[in-house]
Chain A
Amino acid sequence: MAVNSRVKNLIMLMLLPCLMVYVVLALIPLGFTIWLSLINMWRPGETHLYFVGAENYVKILTDPMAMYSLRITLIYTVVSVAVEVLLGLVIGALMYESISVRRTLTPILVIPLGIPPITVGLIWRFLFHPDFGAFTYWLRTTTGLNINYAIHGDQAYALTIVMDIWQWTPLVAFIVLGGLLAIPTEYVESFMIDGAGFFRRLTHLYMRMIRSNLVFAIILRFMDSFKVFDQVWMLTQGGPGTATQYVSIFLYRLGLISWNLSEAAALSLIILLIVIIVSNVVTKIIKR
């Protein structure tokens, strides 16, 4: 379209709302966070402010609790994403191969994608409540296993991973299905004639054909699981002890409960850096 000065002004005006949001909700907070991370705002109402250089970064990087929360978040993410991709592949492939499976499962599998994560936390709280949870009862009567995630850290940790898998495996399955539906049918048919079994088709045909979709699903889920907050906050608030104190929860506590703003800011920027590096590396891999 032709651009004269009147149109130029109009363009600016039309971009203005999004630009303002970007400045107010991304750039200014970023600048503010950088500033906070360089000063001594270690408790609320600190009036004598001065620059401390890299001190906050050093403190965070040598803080065992911060590093612990980063580590358990990483393990949480890797385990959840691995299981989600494996299950998603199988479910997606089954939905691809049978139209009736696809028709029946699609409406069921979209449900968890719409539920607020905080409600997912509540649902699993009721399923595994130490006193009246349906699954607690079922496990106790069939296997004699006593579940009490409010006391046992490892159970709480496992439960948060189960919640992530429960809510997001369907998304991976749909991504897989979308990728498979885009494969030209000749390829699949020739493979079918070969008489290859389901798992052989899965590993030798499907996984190769939808490699880029799989990589994308892994990144997407990785970035999202890394942020985990809501459902864990509802279920355990990071406990028992610090068993499920994932990095977002640690950050939230450090900033908005302990009001150690400067160290929280330093940790925020470290997390942001990790996210940026991971997403850049990954997009490069995808583009290749």
Chain B
Amino acid sequence: MKRQTLIYIIVIVLIAFAYIFPLYWLITTSLKSYIEIYANPPYWYPPNPSLQYYLDAFYKFFGLKYLINSLIVASTNAALATLSSLLAAFVISRFQFKGKDTLFFSFVSMRMAPPAVFAVAYYYMFCVTLGMKDQLITLIIVYLVFNIPIAIWLLLSAEENIPRDLDYVASLEGYGPLSILFKIHTPIIRGVIVIAYILTFLFAFNEYLFASFLTSTEARTIPTGLQGMVTVAGVYWSQMAALGVISALPGIIIALVTRRYLVTGLTMGMA
């Protein structure tokens, strides 16, 4: 065998191990009992695999409720972020007006600040002043702050690629701006719109910091529910691992399906 091929194989095996084994360990932990988890030497596979801990995580530890909350928040927030970004991207791409670049930069810059920076302000605005603590709608609104920048990046570059002649022809046919956007542009860039929706969904689904102080019991999402189990986890490792697996599933599936676009989304289309 060529030396080069050997090196390739070694690299692939090492990397595969580094990424598959941690996931494997999480999954097996969710299938072992408390005693099996603490066994020394450890079981490298679950001796008596059972889905009991998933049922526990779902019902005893409200995992199902958290999952539903997460899905509601992420799907609604992604829809709002994508739609409002589509409208703004269309205007920024197609009309000339003063302060256009500043406006775009302002929207995109919302993502730059570390989330902890606005934690206190959000807490006061939503929980103290508006009395919106522990409500899903609060998360749906707040998550727009990091999802609009991503959606607007993706959608603006898609809009810029649509030839302007098309608008001209459409306006001769009597189309107004709204029908140009929704009847002509939207079908052309629907792939990017779907990607924007999926990525914003992912980021909303995975968010922890804001949810940790904007919710307490009723509106808990999966990441906050998971962190909440730390206090009782001394006893319930299997159930916590089960909820961990559930929390990672949507992200892994989305990552595998979107691949290239996930990288585009994470780099905001700059690389």
Write the residues of chain A forming the contact surface with B, with a CB cutoff of 8 angstroms.
1-3, 7, 10-11, 14-15, 17-18, 21-22, 24-26, 28-30, 32-33, 36, 91, 94, 98, 100-101, 104-119, 122-124, 126-127, 131-132, 134, 137, 141, 166, 171, 174-175, 178-179, 213, 216-217, 220, 223, 226-227, 229-230, 233-234, 247-249, 251-252, 255-256, 261, 264-265, 268-269, 271-272, 275-276, 279
Contacts and interface: CB of A to CB of B under 8 A. Distances in A.
A80 to B, nearest CB: 15
B107 A109 contact: no
Contact of A11 (B91, B120, B148, B263): B91
Contacts of A117: 206, 208
Interface in B175-217: 176-178, 180, 202, 205-209, 213
A93 B48 CA distance: 43
Given A17-B84, A18-B107, A116 B116 contact: no
Contacts of B208: 116-118, 229-230, 233
A109 B26 contact: no
Nearest to B18: A166
B235 interface: no
B67 interface: no
A1 B91 CA distance: 10
8 closest A-B pairs by beta carbon, nearest first, are A114-B255, A114-B251, A17-B84, A29-B121, A116-B206, A227-B114, A248-B116, A14-B87
Nearest to A26: B110
B92 to A, nearest CB: 8
A36 B120 contact: yes
Given A115-B252, A127-B22, A226 B84 contact: no
B120 A256 contact: yes
B87 A18 contact: yes
Interface in B219-271: 222-223, 226-227, 230, 237, 240-241, 244, 247-248, 250-256, 259, 262-263, 266-267, 270-271
Contacts of A111: 19, 23, 252, 255-256
A216 B250 CA distance: 28
A17 B11 contact: no
Given A14-B90, A118-B223, A119-B244, A272 B144 contact: no
A94 B11 contact: yes
Contacts of A100: 8
B120 to A, nearest CB: 4
24 contacts: A1-B95, A3-B95, A11-B91, A15-B87, A17-B83, A22-B107, A30-B118, A101-B12, A108-B15, A110-B255, A110-B256, A114-B252, A116-B248, A122-B240, A122-B241, A123-B25, A132-B37, A175-B267, A234-B226, A234-B230, A247-B114, A252-B209, A271-B117, A279-B112
A17 B87 contact: yes
B16 interface: yes
Max chain A Cβ within 10 angstroms of own Cβ: one of B83, B122, B152? B122
- Interface of A (DSSP majority class): helix
A223 B149 CA distance: 15
A212 B26 CA distance: 38
Contacts of A271: 113-114, 116-117
Contact of B38 (A107, A131, A217): A131
Contact of A114 (B84, B95, B118, B254): B254
